[in-house]
Amino acid sequence: MSPLPGGTMGRLLEVDLAAGTARPLALDERLAGLFVGGRGLGTALLVERFLRLRDRHANPFRAVDPLAPENPLVVSTSPANGTTVPTSARFHANFKSPLTGGIGSTNSGGRWGVEFKRTGHDAMVVTGRSPKPVVLFIDAGGVRFEAPPEADLDDVEAVTNALESRYGRSVRVMTVGAAGRRLARIAAIMNDKGRALGRGGGGAVFGSKNLVAIVVAGSVAVESAAPDALRPTNIAGSTYKAHAKLRVGKLTKPPEQFGILSSMGTAGLLGMLSQYDELIHCNFRDTSHVAEQIERIGGEALASHPAIKVRRRACYLCPIGCTRETELLDACGVVVDRGEGPEFETVAMLGANLDIYDLEPITEANYLCNRLGLDTISAGGTIGALMEIFGIVRATRPEARTEGERALMADAAAFARACGAPAAGAPEDGPFAPTFGNVRALVPLVRAMASGEGALGRALASGARRLAEHYGHPEAAMAVKGMEIPAYDPRVTWTQALAYMTTARGGCHLQGGYSAPIAFCAGYGEFPGIKSEGAALVARNFAYQNTAYDVLGVCAFAGFSVTLDEYANMLNDVTGLEMKASDLETVSRRVLTLERLFNLLCGFTPEDDWLPERFYRDPIAVEEGNVLCPEDEFRAMRAEYYESLGWDERGVPRESAIRELGLDAILGAAEFERMTGGPPSPAASARQAGHGQYQQERPA
């Protein structure tokens, strides 16, 4: 076998929390060659760990409960992490998702991933459940299992501050807050206080293992094959060219040149999305906003808000600097709270989506999501579903309400009383009624969601799909595969809609390809948003591109300016390999296909690759007229997307594609058929995936 590429540390850390053991293993060269790193390596390690459970389960992918000790939590880095490749701070986590019942796959920035890699490890697999709450401390010397700090373990910032006091300010901390400890299905894993492995409920998996935090202290240098070519000052080098491209891109250029991301942060995208009729409103019922209201919550408003102090920050070695650290000020200018954000998706989902156009409560709710460990996209999507259902029930005569509707009104009344509303007041019109535009209810709803307070808080913590089903209105859940979709209305951007449908982890604007801003915003206008012809191939190419970013460990925003060929050149200087953009696309196809196999083994079918019925049924008014997602055209686009990846009409990868991609060495067609008992059946939908005995379990 050939030696491992440059940029890799050559070690995999395996942690068994039940046994209290940790051991370093040699990184599998075959997996490193096939999947490179990040999302690719993490997906492969997850699949391999599930395959090892075949002695306990005929089909472990389907049988293992996401909150069971058996469910592995995989953290993986990429060869570029810790080098001078711009924006190369991203790392990945994989698990079976408690939100969707399929593959959990999520990405974060900051500095934690770089420092973990500098402990001498490329990836880590955590299994088991600790008998008592535990902190893992990892450095180049090994792993220590230690007691949690004397701090509020529900508070991400408190835990982080306490562990930094214990180990030193240079360490980096990953933890979960109240949401993860209480097994909320939309809980995030937080790192560096305000960064999030946000999507898919990874925080619940982390909390189910009685794991309080993972602290890393890096000291090992990352060695590259061609360090001189990676010097940003080397005019002939690959990173110099990438920096030059970033300095002129409309979204990525420096703030003094009015680069949108650098000068306003990601919230600068808000006005553009609204201008192109794409920004969601009132749980995707329309995209109609008053321009003056959008101006009150966009990037310009955040930068100049009298009650919010803003500082520009960046992930490790990122020249874009889209992060915003903020402080909330009272009327006297005294700081009353501080944190990271809010980012675009948070402002959109907790603001415009809920008909709330006030940055102060949005920022406060954002701080609370970070501190208690919630995915802000899922939080906003779930509250949006609640507000829609509440409005429907409020307009229904009490005697005509269903059992679920009566339960909602009782739960809303109990929530209002817990917030201090008069006991005799009706929940329909009280100060804490969960209605669109009710600013006063926002922060209490987020707190109840994260802490699982009361019946309404527990329903919110389960995500939009389960909440909507519980209260008798499943049509109000704007989710795909159970994951709440982000802030771009699919009726206006069909390539983004196709990404929502087909992304393995569920409704997502990144992993399946971030096409919406390129189609509409920032002056790119590369292709029309409402067109089916060619859309499947465009969506596939964006999926290749964004999957490659996750494999490389770089930021999708850099892709607005830097091409995949240019990233391939930088990867070659790190690794010593000779890869082209087409080679990275093959790696991406390999990852997408393995993710697909994972979901099929969990029981997913083509019907799980489908938008909520609202988008096919209810048109919205935009500049071009009334638009929706034509069902026949979308079924045709889905079939074309499958075919372009070498999958059949059911979305099952063909045996020839599995062999061509080298996946038969990991999961062959015969083994797939054995575990599934044949082709997936429509009755075996992932919507029915069981989450049984661990659902209500709480960590000690």
What confidence tens digit (pLDDT) does each residue in 620-632 have? Answer: 999 889 999 999 9
Question: Model confidence at 518, in pLDDT bands (50, 70, 90)?
Answer: low
The CATH number for 668's domain is 1.10.599.10
Amino acid at 610: W
Identify whether residues 495 and 475 lie together within a single domain: no
Q: State the pLDDT at residue 691.
A: 41
Q: What is the CATH number of the domain that holds 189?
A: 3.60.9.10
- Rounded CA-CA distance 126/15 in Å is 5
Residue 606 contacts by C-beta under 8 Å, 6 or more apart in sequence? 638, 649, 650, 651
In a domain, 241, yes or no: no
Average pLDDT over residues 547-557: 95
pTM of the full predicted structure? 0.95
pLDDT of amino acid 72: 98
Q: Are residues 211 and 327 in the same domain?
A: no
Does residue 355 sit within a domain?
yes
Confidence of residue 87 (pLDDT cuts 50, 70, 90): very high
327 exposed, middle or buried (CB, 10 Å; 0-12, 13-18, 19+)?
A: middle
Report if residue 522 sits inside a domain: yes
Instruction: Give which of 597, 608, 602 is closest to 654, Cα–Cα.
Output: 597
Identify whether residues 281 and 204 lie together within a single domain: no
Residue 615 and residue 287: Cα distance in Å, rounded? Answer: 12
pLDDT computed for residue 690 by the predictor? 39
Residue 684 is predicted with a pLDDT of 35
| 53 touches 61 (CB < 8 A) | no
Q: Which residue has the higher pLDDT, 430 or 283?
A: 283
Whole-angstrom Cα distance, residue 610 to residue 624?
25
User: What integer is the mean pLDDT of 61-81?
Assistant: 98
Q: How confident is the model at residue 697 (pLDDT cuts 50, 70, 90)?
A: very low
Q: Please report how the helices 38-51 and 535-552 are oriented relative to each other, as an axis angle in degrees rounded to 10.
A: 90
Express each pLDDT in 640-681 by its tens digit.
999 999 999 999 999 999 999 999 999 887 888 888 876 433
In a domain, residue 695? The reply is no
**From CA 65, how far away is CA 61, in angstroms rounded?**
9
Query: Which residue segment(s) compose the domain that 682 sits in?
Result: 489-688
pLDDT at 523 over 80: no
Shared domain for 189 and 160, answered yes or no, is yes
Q: Return the minimum-mean-pLDDT range out of 82-91, 254-263, 350-359, 614-623.
A: 254-263
Tokens of 268: 């600068």
- Residue finishing a domain among 419, 451, 480: 480
Percent of the chain whose predicted confidence (pLDDT) is above 90: 81
Q: Quick one: residue 508, left, alpha or beta (phi over 0 = left, psi -120 to 50 = alpha)?
A: beta
Q: Give the residue from 387, 288, 379, 397 showing the smallest Cα distance to 341.
A: 379
- Cis amide bond preceding 60, omega within 30: no
**DSSP assignments along 238-282, one per residue:** HHHHHHHHHTTSTTTS-GGGT-HHHHH-GGGHHHHHHHTT-B-BT
What is the rounded CA–CA span in Å between residue 150 and residue 203?
A: 21
Question: Does residue 361 carry a pLDDT above 60?
Answer: yes
pLDDT score of 692: 42
Q: What distances in angstroms separate CA 398 from CA 188, 328, 387, 407, 430, one per listed residue? A: 37, 42, 18, 12, 17
Q: Do 550 and 679 fall within a single domain?
A: yes
State the total domains in the chain: 3
- 494/431 same-domain check: no
511 pLDDT band (50/70/90 cuts)?
A: confident
Q: Is residue 135 part of a domain?
A: yes
- C-alpha to C-alpha distance for 366 and 279, rounded to whole angstroms: 19
The pLDDT of residue 140 is 97
Kindly report the backbone phi and psi dihedral angles of residue 533, in degrees, each rounded to the nearest multiple of 5, phi listed first.
-65, 120
Does the structure show a pLDDT above 70 at 520?
no
Residues 322 and 448 in one domain: yes
pLDDT in tens, 166-222: 999 999 999 999 999 999 999 999 999 999 999 999 999 999 999 999 999 999 999
Among 422, 445, 480, the domain-final residue is 480
Estimate to the nearest angstrom the gap between the alpha carbon of 635 and the chain centroid: 26
Could you tell me if 407 and 493 lie in one domain?
no
What burial letters (b/e) apply to 169-198, b meaning 16+ CB within 10 Å? eebbbbbbbbbbbbbbbbbbbbbbbbbbbb
Q: Which of 432, 424, 305 is nearest to 362 (CA)?
A: 305
Distances in Å between the Cα of 611 and the Cα atoms of 212, 335, 496, 508, 628 are 36, 43, 11, 12, 12
| Mean pLDDT computed over 675-697 | 46
Residue 2 belongs to a domain: no
Whole-number Å distance between alpha carbons of 53 and 285: 44
CA distance 121 to 74: 12
Which CATH number covers residue 397?
1.10.569.10
Query: How far apart are the C-alpha atoms of 353 and 440, rounded to whole Å?
Result: 16
pLDDT at position 424 is: 66
Q: What is the mean pLDDT of residues 309-330?
A: 92
- Identify which has the larger pLDDT, 265 or 600: 600
Do 154 and 297 reside in the same domain of the chain? no
- H or E, element range at 386: helix 376-394
Q: What does the pLDDT read at residue 529?
A: 78
What separation in angstroms does the CA of 262 have from each of 256, 268, 651?
9, 9, 40
| pLDDT at residue 473 tops 90 | yes
Sign of CA dihedral 635, 637, 638, 639: positive
Q: Examine residue 257 and state whether it is found in any structural domain, yes or no.
A: no
632 alpha carbon, distance to own chain's centre: 30
Instruction: Find where tokens 């492995």 sit.
Output: 197
Residue 32 has pLDDT above 70, yes or no: yes
Domain boundary among 480, 514, 531: 480
Provide DSSP, 512-528. T---HHHHHSTT---S-
List the structure tokens of 266. Answer: 């990601």
Q: What is the mean predicted confidence (pLDDT) over 389-416?
A: 97
User: What tokens appear for 145 in the block?
Assistant: 């299992």
Which of 578, 543, 585 shows the shortest CA–CA distance to 564? 585
Q: Where are the alpha helices (DSSP H) in 521-580?
A: 535-552, 564-575
Nearest to 552 by CA among 570, 578, 576: 570
pLDDT for the residue 680? 37
Token pair recorded at residue 467? 């909440």
Whether the CB-CB separation of 352 and 174 falls below 8 Å is answered with no
Same-domain pairing of 470 and 330: yes
Does residue 110 come out as left (phi exceeding 0), alpha (psi in the -120 to 50 range) or beta?
left
Same-domain status, 295 and 399: yes
Same domain, 158 and 276: no
> Quick one: CA dihedral 248, 520, 272, 88, positive or negative?
negative
Q: Read off the pLDDT of each residue in 446-455 and give the average, rounded to a whole number.
A: 96
Whether residue 456 has pLDDT greater than 70? yes
Query: pLDDT digits over 478-499, tens only?
Result: 999 999 999 999 999 899 999 9
Residues paired with 14 in a beta bridge: 23, 125
Tell me if 547 is assigned to some domain. Answer: yes
Determine contact, residues 180/189, Cβ cutoff 8 Å: yes
